[in-house]
Amino acid sequence: MMSLDLHPIFRNNRDIELTLRQFLFRANNSGEPVAEIIPGKGSGRLKARVLAFLDQKHIQKLYVRREVDSGNTGRILVYFK
């Protein structure tokens, strides 16, 4: 499973979007059925930002569904075709 930990870049908005976009394209092309994005638990602001990014119409075309891991709320799972 591919994994992206956002802890090192959580302060830079432009880096977050660029990193998420590159990661989703790589994950989509890799053939892996699931990828994880780790925004961490913290205040929840970064997680909300990641979910808002994933919910954009042009980004939604890259994946089948996304969910917050029920066992670990600091982890978002993204499922591909």
Domain-located, residue 72:
no
Confirm whether 52 is domain-assigned.
yes
Question: Which SS3 state, helix, strand or coil, does residue 76 take?
Answer: strand
Which residue range is the domain that position 57 belongs to? 2-64
pLDDT in tens, the chain (81 residues): 999 999 888 787 888 999 999 999 999 999 999 999 999 988 899 999 999 999 999 999 999 999 999 999 999 999 998
Q: Please check whether residue 72 is in contact with residue 34, taking contact to mean a CB–CB distance below 8 angstroms.
A: no
80 domain-assigned: no
Tell me whether residue 34 is in a domain. yes
Is 81 inside any structural domain? no
Whether 13 is covered by a domain: the verdict is yes
What's the total number of domains in the chain?
A: 1
Q: What's this model's pTM, rounded to 2 decimal places?
A: 0.92
Report the candidate in 49, 52, 54 with the shortest Cα–Cα distance to residue 65. 54
